[in-house]
Structure 1
Amino acid sequence: MAQYIYEYKNWPEFTWDEGQISVILGKVRHLQGKVFGQMSGLGFLLKEETMLSTLTLDVLKSSEIEGEILNYEQVRSSIARRLGLEYAGIVHVDKNVEGVVEMMLDATQRYASPLDHERIFGWHAALFPTGWSGMHRIDAGRYRDGEMQVVSGPMGREKVHFQAPSPKVVRDEMDAFLAWFNQVSNIDGVLKAAIAHFWFIIIHPFDDGNGRIARAMSDLLLARSEESSQRFYSLSNQILSEKKMYYQTLQKVQHSSGDITEWLDWFLNCLYRALVNTEETLKRVLQKADFWNEHKETVLNSRQRLMLNKLLDGFDGKLKSSKWAKITKCSADTALRDIKDLIEKGILQQEESGGRSTHYELIPRWNTP
């Protein structure tokens, strides 16, 4: 079996090819500046809306990478409440959702605060409020005291992807990691986010939740690199869409003797693509703003406003009157009246696909995929 990176004498002295990394790092830095420039031109409410959408996406996708699907409305509502933002859809929020949101906001809104053992324990405890991960009891809020392997495959034919350092050295490893994390160095902040992500994953200090905490650390360092708690792009969303390469690259570089160029190259390119995709999100936010600006004098009831916001945010599935009634908690007749009123006002139209049941959509001008 090939040696792991932490088994080499020079661990944790990482090296990389500056020439290979500098071009993509320059592109990332340029695009970061461009995105922030575009955002600073937005009005206050639009900025809030973009940030709320981005943080919601980040929380949802970081959990989805681990196979956990959280409820969109709960995540969005929890973030809005904690940031003191206006949000119509205040809903009941599960404990585990509150925990993930708490960790993400602590990382991004308090990016300038030092990271220490206690703060990380707080994140971990927030991720596992019941002390259980699925069917397994775990040590929430403290480092693992058992061996840790990342495995896949059926019982008896498991494939070991990674063997983490012994639990005996975890505290010392984390001491060294945190000392580096908090010190002011001449390493570019974006590069530091990539190194921290990899280093923490290798230590694998917890029974579970290491991936989500590593991504929160990256978000913290990216916020630090921008000197801003305002989040306008989601790295986790991009990692999810490139999940296979994410794990493949980690698996390959974990056997390196210290050179992590391949990991840094992948991370920076992934971040670059996340920034490119942000322009799409911005387009939707601007469109939503234009819509409400145009309809500021239009008489609409609270049910119609709620459903229009859902449609403008990208409604999942087909909109039928029965769905309208269920979401807005009204009768079928009221739902149909609401919809017909919006058709008369030139906001909704009946979908042309026909079929046995009638579906509705925003008129083409507002209906971007």
Structure 2
Amino acid sequence: MTPDSTPHSPSRPRYLWQQPDWPALVVDGAVLAPALESARVEQGRLLGLLDAIGLVPAQEVARDLWAQEALATAQIEGQRFELQAVRSSVARRLGLDDAAASAPDRSVEGLVDVMQDAVAQCAAPLDADRLWRWQSALFPGGTSGIQRIAVGRWRDHADPMQIVSGPLGREVVHYEAPPSRQVAAEMGRFLAWFEATRPAAPGAPSGSGAGVNGLVRAALAHLWFETVHPFEDGNGRLGRALADMALAQDLAHRQAAPQPFSAPIFGVALRMLVNRGAYYDALNAAQRGTTDVTAWVLWFVQTFVQGCIASQAVVRQVVDKAAFRVRMVQAGVNPRQVKVLERLLAAGSVELGGGFLGGLTADKYTRLASTSKPTATRDLADLVAKGLLWVSGQGKATRYGIAVPGWTQPAVE
């Protein structure tokens, strides 16, 4: 047993759940006020953009944002999915055509199912059975890797539930969750709080949840769930799904009309992945601190702000794509050119994590369009002349990029 795993006296609590006033989490509203105001401004801008572009483009945005979130929440846990498998899974749920649809992947389907249920069914009660079904969906074979794990129930092993890093024999214990024997009671308190603080539906009488800011509630829900760590595996993905559920409930409470789509749109998981070190540090500090969790909530709200800003850029990229397609039609491009231009549009812009690897070359055009080198050269020159592609370099260093204002493509492999 490592020094960190030794039981501690209640008079000297090491972890949040050992504090005498746990789970009465508190925050300093004055400290949070500027960040919460900024968050509402950026959230409003995102929702305004989505409302302005119409339902069909908004669904395309929803697909892109949802796919990004699914990839990110899995990657935080070291799980990597194929982008096309995730996009296809999301597209099916949104009722969108997917020309490049791939065969369903059970692990991808399970994660996307959880995310959909959390957001689209955010009005449904959250209870233990629902969480058990979520966790089962993440592990369709009942294993994590090749190890069998407890699926569809709270963890029940006698060993400490620890967050550990480092090589075997020199592990560092970052956090130890409550013993398994306490999980049922801990989760009973969490679920009661989550339901009691649920925002009232538009037009309904205000309930006890009316006094809890929706963004603060999402941050508290994620921290509380991660602190209990109720499952043998899958806690991180489920904790982020719970945050999405709380954000969806908050959005439904604030909007007079239902959402035009049911998908995670605020990009929180992606920002957590991008700032993974800071995410772990903030969570670990909160789990080793007192029940005043202002610092954690502030970090979460600031991450929400960053996510909204990044999501706004995704919306603008969809608008850019639509405008470019109009230019394509007006320019009279041939089917080969359409195929390649659509591949470039699908790759997106470097600023949003996309871009066509190494830029477009004549050789790549030849392969993508299934045509000859001379035809590829003529097609590319024609697209440059029509203002649909830009060109840089000479000879073998010649690269082409899609001419969407503000977009860039990588210039080298």
Which deviates the most, 49-58 or 29-38? 29-38
Corresponding residue for residue 204 of structure 2 = none
Q: Which residue of 1 aligns with 2:171?
A: 158
CA distance in structure 2 between the aligned counterparts of 1:367 and 1:264, rounded to whole angstroms: 34
What does 1:108-257 align with in structure 2 at a 5 Å threshold?
Answer: 108-146=119-157, 147-183=160-196, 184=198, 185=209, 186-227=211-252, 228=259, 229=262, 231-257=264-290
Aligned pairs, how many? 366
For the residue of structure 2 that corresponds to 1:140, the secondary structure is: coil
For 1:317, which of 357, 360, 377 is the aligned residue? 357
- With normalisation by structure 1, the TM-score equals 0.90
Q: 2:382 is matched with which residue: 329, 336, 344?
A: 344
Greater CA deviation, 215-224 or 136-145? 136-145
Q: Where do 5+ consecutive residues of structure 1 fail to align?
A: none
Q: Is the 8 A contact 1:89 1:306 kept in 2?
A: no
CA offset at residue 14 of structure 1? Answer: 0.8
The aligned counterpart of 1:290 is 323
1:300: Cα distance to partner?
Answer: 4.3
Q: What residue number does 1:91 align with? A: 102
**Shift in Å at residue 164 of structure 1?**
0.9
- Worse-matched range after superposition: 357-366 or 82-91: 357-366
**Per-residue deviation, 1:324:** 5.6
Superposition RMSD in Å: 2.4
What does the per-residue CA deviation read over 1:74-133, in whole Å, with 9 as the maximum and x for residues that have no partner?
111110011111232212232111111111111111111111112111211111112222
Q: Distance in 1 between matches of 2:102 and 2:376?
A: 22
* Partner secondary structure for residue 237 of structure 2: helix
> Which range moves more in the overlay, 299-308 or 287-296?
299-308
Amino acid at match of 2:401: E
| CA shift for structure 1 position 17 | 1.2
Kept after mapping to 2: 8 A contact 1:62/1:212: yes
Aligned amino acid, residue 280 of structure 1: A
Q: CA deviation at 1:325?
A: 6.7
TM-score, length basis structure 2: 0.81
User: In structure 1, how many angstroms separate the alpha carbons of the residues matched to 2:68 and 2:136?
Assistant: 22
Amino acid at match of 1:283: R
SS of alignment partner, residue 144 of structure 1: coil
Find the aligned partners of 2:374 and 2:270 in 1 and give their Cα distance.
Answer: 36
* Percent identity of equivalent pairs: 33
- Bigger shift: residues 84-93 or 171-180: 84-93
- Structure 1 stretches (4+) deviating beyond 6 angstroms? none
**Whole-Å separation in 1 of the counterparts to 2:373 and 2:131:** 47
Letter of the 1:341 partner, please give it: D
Counterpart residue number, 2:403: 363
CA distance in 1, matches of 2:377, 2:340: 8
Deviation at 1:348, TM superposition (A): 5.6
1:358 shift after superposition: 5.7
The alpha-carbon deviation at position 198 of structure 1 amounts to 0.1
